[in-house]
Amino acid sequence: MDEKISTDGPIFVTQPFLPPLEEFVPYLDEIWKKKILTNGGPFHQQLERALCDYLGVGHIALFANGTLALVTALQSLRITGEVITTPYSFVATSHSLLWNGIKPVFVDIDPDTLNIDPGKIEAAITPQTTAVLPVHCYGRPCDTEAIQKIADSYNLRVIYDAAHAFGVTEDGRSVLNHGDLSVLSFHATKVFNTFEGGAIVCPDAKTKQRIDHLKNFGFVSEVSVAAPGINGKMSEFGAALGLLQLRYIDAVLDRRREIDAIYREDLRDVEGIRCIDTAGRGKSNYAYFPILVEREFGMSRDDLYGNLQKAGIYARRYFYPLISDFPMYRGLPSAHHENLPVARDTAAKILCLPIYPDLRPDQIRRVVNTIRNS
């Protein structure tokens, strides 16, 4: 057996970025002094403002995580009936629909962008359709113009799952301003993290206020509750960490861009490995480094995945299986395999390679060499 023993410990697909611990201490001191731990405290308010500035958006409501933000975004617009979405995403995208009693309707993806194919949306619209829930997959912007056009002509809402799209811009403008709402995740595995966290980007103060009520049980004053809200609030701990992370985000994105460029250069001549363009017309955040393992590579995606694992490299098959293949979705008519050929083909070939700021050049070389020698 030719077991490749790694000499340098495992390499995971991502590793969260953490600023120096000593820089977090003053924030903790402040929390301990003021004894304000949550409920829209000073750090929470500061982070909302700082994120609006950094991202170039009008209004932000912070959340305890991205999934609660998705569930609440749908609630805030009173979305019901059927919602058109992509099967090629993290399962929370569709779960947020089920938690609202909404029927997901899966539409196939575009083979170049891996985002929902706008050309296939219209055929999926029924009298029950109320909204579209697209995902900016790997941070690559959706065809927002085409989606909005369809939404306008059928009077549908658009909520973007923008969990991958922190800091992504197109023509110098944030992609988070498209549609009715956009939802971010600040989970540990994302480009910008607050351990757990998320946010809804909203177009106006009134919408933000409604969302702020919803994330605090529906309280609109000390004694009145206007809606069946939830507890979705981000704590002062998370907000403080977010403020500190923001000081490092540009350096984090720079380093990710360098790693992305090295992979692209070093994998260029490897037959059967196709590096996905995660930017399109936009400016990428290099959140992921997805490759397609094509037939010409001479080895299946799963065999390459196994070989990498043997070398201590834990790439991930994002997104496999498709959401539409999980038990709570596969009975839906739109989950049928014939309806989703591109998503199915992509899920069988996709592999996300390790990318994170602390990934060293020798580790990148190890990943590339393991692929080359497979």
Ligand X SMILES: *Cc1c(COP(=O)(O)O)cnc(C)c1O
Closest Cα to residue 352, out of 255, 253, 260? 260
Tokens of 206: 């009134």
Q: Closer to ligand X at the Cβ: 151 or 184? A: 184
User: Of the listed pieces 19-27, 61-69, 108-116, 263-271, which binds ligand X according to CB under 6 A?
Assistant: 61-69
Q: Which of 41, 66, 139, 357 binds ligand X (CB under 6 A)?
A: 66
Report in angstroms how near the CB of residue 217 gets to ligand X at its nearest.
Answer: 20
Q: Are 115 and 346 in contact (CB under 8 A)?
A: no
Residue 105 to residue 8: CA distance in whole angstroms: 45
C-beta separation of 195 from 44 below 8 A: no
Considering beta carbons, is residue 117 or 161 the nearer one to ligand X?
Answer: 161
Binding mask 112-141 for ligand X (x = CB under 6 A): -----------------------x------
Q: How far is the CB of 89 from ligand X (least distance, A)?
A: 5
* Contact pick of 90, 138, 286, 297 for ligand X (by CB under 6 A): 90
Q: DSSP secondary-structure letter at 101? A: T
The three-class DSSP label of residue 332 is: coil
Phi, psi for 193 (deg, rounded to 5): -125, 145
DSSP string, 103-123: EEEE-PBPTTT-SB-GGGTGG
Strand 181-185 vs strand 157-161: parallel, antiparallel, or unpaired?
parallel
CB 129 within 8 A of CB 83: yes
Min dist. Cβ of residue 214 to ligand X (A): 16
Kindly state the smallest distance separating residue 18's Cβ from ligand X, in Å: 17
In the structure encoding, which two tokens stand for residue 277, read together?
Answer: 């363009």
Minimum CB–partner distance for residue 92 and ligand X (Å): 4
Could you tell me which residues are beta bridge partners of residue 157? 131
Judged by CB, which is closer to ligand X: 176, or 273?
176
Number of residues that bind ligand X (CB under 6 A): 14
Cis, bond preceding 90 (omega within 30 deg of 0): no
Q: Which is nearer to ligand X, 136 or 210 (CB)?
A: 136
- Of these, 93, 94, 245, 374, which contacts ligand X (CB under 6 A)? 93
According to CB under 6 A, which residues from 182 to 211 bind ligand X? 185, 187, 198
- Name the percent of the chain in helix, strand, coil, to the closest 5: 40, 15, 40
DSSP 8-state code for residue 199: E
| Radius of gyration, CA atoms only, the chain | 21
Do the beta carbons of residue 196 and residue 206 sit within 8 Å? no
Identify whether 19 is preceded by a cis peptide bond (ω within 30 of 0). no
User: Which residue among 31, 47, 60, 92 contacts ligand X (CB under 6 A)?
Assistant: 92
133 membership: H or E segment, kind and range: strand 129-133
Please tell me whether residue 164 binds ligand X under the rule CB under 6 A. Answer: yes
Q: Which stretch binds ligand X (CB under 6 A): 11-19, 88-96, 278-286, 339-347?
A: 88-96
**According to the binding rule CB under 6 A, does residue 161 interact with ligand X?**
yes
**Residue closest to ligand X when measured from CB atoms:** 66
Minimum CB distance to ligand X smaller for 130 or for 185: 185
The minimum distance between CB 195 and ligand X, in angstroms, equals 10
**Residues 12-51 as x/- pattern, contact with ligand X by CB under 6 A:** ----------------------------------------
By CB under 6 A, name the one of 163, 253, 292, 308 that touches ligand X. 163
Q: Which residues bind ligand X (CB under 6 A)?
A: 65-67, 89-90, 92-93, 135, 161, 163-164, 185, 187, 198
